[in-house]
Structure 1
Amino acid sequence: MINRRATLTAIAVIGVAGLASGCLSPSTPQNANGNGSAASGAGKSKISVMYGLGPDTEPGFKADVGKFAKDNGITIEFIKAASWDTEIRTRVQGGNPPDVGLFPQPGLMCDLAKQGHLIPFDDATVATNKKTLVPGIIDAGTCADGKVYGLPNEVSVKSVLWTDAGAFKAGGYTAPKTLDELLSLTEKIKADGKTPWCIAAESGAATGWPITDWIEDLVLRFAGPENYDKWVKGELKFDSPEIRPAFEYFQKIAFGAGNVRGGTKSIVATNFQTGGNAMFGSPPGCFLFKQATFVANPGGFPDAVIAQLDTKTGPLPFPGKTAGDNPVLLGGDIAAAFNNDANTLKVRNFIASKENGTEQAKLGAFSPHTTADVSLLPNKTLQTIASEVLYKASAARFDGSDLMPAKVGAGTFWTEPVKWLSGQQDLHTTLTNIDQSYPKAS
Structure 2
Amino acid sequence: MKHSTRTALAMATVLIAGVALSGCSVEPTEELTVFASWAGDEEVAFKAVLEDFEKRSGIRTRYQGHRDVSQVLQVAIERGRPPDVAVLPRVNDLQRYVNADQLVPLEGAVTTDPGAAPQLIKLAPKSGPAGAPDGDALPYAVAIATSLKSVIWYDTKQLEKAGQGPPTTWNELVGLSQRKIDDEQVRWCLGMSSQSVSGWPGTDWIEDILLHQSGPTFYEPWTRGDLAWNSPQVKAAWETWGSLLRVSAEGTARASLYTTFETAAKGLLPRPEASGSSASPPAEPAASDSRRCHLDHQGSFAISKYRPKPSAKPSPTASGSPALSLAFFPTPPIGPTGTSAFSEVSDDVAVMFGDPKDPERAKDSKGTERARKLMSYLASTQAQTEWREHTDGLAFSRRGEAPADQDGVLAAVAQRLRTGTLCWDGSDLMPAAMATAFERAVLVYLEAPERLDSLLLELEKIRTTVPRAEWLNLMCVPPA
Q: TM-score over 0.5 for the alignment? A: yes
- 1:319 corresponds to 2:332: yes
Q: Is the 8 A contact 1:198 1:261 kept in 2?
A: no
Counting only pairs closer than 5 Å after superposition, residues 18-57 of structure 1 correspond to structure 2 as 44-57=29-42
- In the other structure, the counterpart of 1:383 is 411
Alignment RMSD (CA, Å): 3.5
1-structure distance, mates of 2:379, 2:34: 13
Counting only pairs closer than 5 Å after superposition, residues 168-317 of structure 1 correspond to structure 2 as 168-189=159-180, 194-203=185-194, 206-256=197-247, 259-260=248-249, 262-280=251-269, 285-297=292-304, 300-301=305-306, 303=308, 309-317=322-330
Structure 1 letter corresponding to 2:249: V
2-structure distance, mates of 1:296, 1:397: 21
Could you tell me which runs of 5 or more consecutive residues in structure 2 were left unpaired when the two chains were aligned: 10-27, 127-132, 272-289, 312-319, 355-362, 469-480
- In the other structure, the counterpart of 1:23 is none
CA 141–164 in structure 1, closer or farther in 2 if over 3 Å, else same? farther
2-structure distance, mates of 1:225, 1:350: 33
2-structure distance, mates of 1:183, 1:127: 46
2-structure distance, mates of 1:251, 1:82: 31
Which of 376, 392, 398 is the equivalent residue of 1:369?
A: 398
244-253 or 361-370, which deviates more: 361-370
Q: Is the 8 A contact 2:212 2:342 kept in 1?
A: yes
Q: What percent identity do the matched residue pairs reach?
A: 23
2-structure distance, mates of 1:11, 1:189: 46
Q: Output one character per residue of 1:206-264: Cα deviation in whole Å (capped at 9) or x when no partner.
A: 221110111121222223235323212211122213323321221111233xx035343
Q: Is the 8 A contact 1:106 1:140 kept in 2?
A: no
2-structure distance, mates of 1:185, 1:216: 22
Tell me by how many angstroms 1:358 deviates. 0.9
Could you tell me which runs of 5 or more consecutive residues in structure 1 were left unpaired when the two chains were aligned: 1-6, 17-42
Q: Which structure has the bigger radius of gyration?
A: 2
Q: Is the 8 A contact 1:354 1:369 kept in 2?
A: no
Residue aligned with 1:332, SS: strand
Q: Output one character per residue of 1:366-423: Cα deviation in whole Å (capped at 9) or x when no partner.
A: 332343333355x432222222x32221x212222122121121x2111112111102
CA 324–159 in structure 1, closer or farther in 2 if over 3 Å, else same? closer
Tell me by how many angstroms 1:152 deviates. 0.6
Residue aligned with 1:328, SS: strand
CA 55–95 in structure 1, closer or farther in 2 if over 3 Å, else same? same
Residue aligned with 2:232, SS: coil
- In the other structure, the counterpart of 2:281 is none
220-229 or 153-162, which deviates more: 220-229
Number of matched pairs: 397
Structure 1 letter corresponding to 2:298: Q
Counting only pairs closer than 5 Å after superposition, residues 382-401 of structure 1 correspond to structure 2 as 382-387=410-415, 389-393=416-420, 395-401=421-427
275-284 or 61-70, which deviates more: 275-284
1-structure distance, mates of 2:150, 2:417: 9
Q: Taking structure 2 as the reference length, what is the TM-score of the superposition?
A: 0.73
Q: Is the 8 A contact 1:140 1:398 kept in 2?
A: no
- In the other structure, the counterpart of 2:453 is 428
Residue aligned with 2:147, SS: strand
Q: Taking structure 1 as the reference length, what is the TM-score of the superposition?
A: 0.79
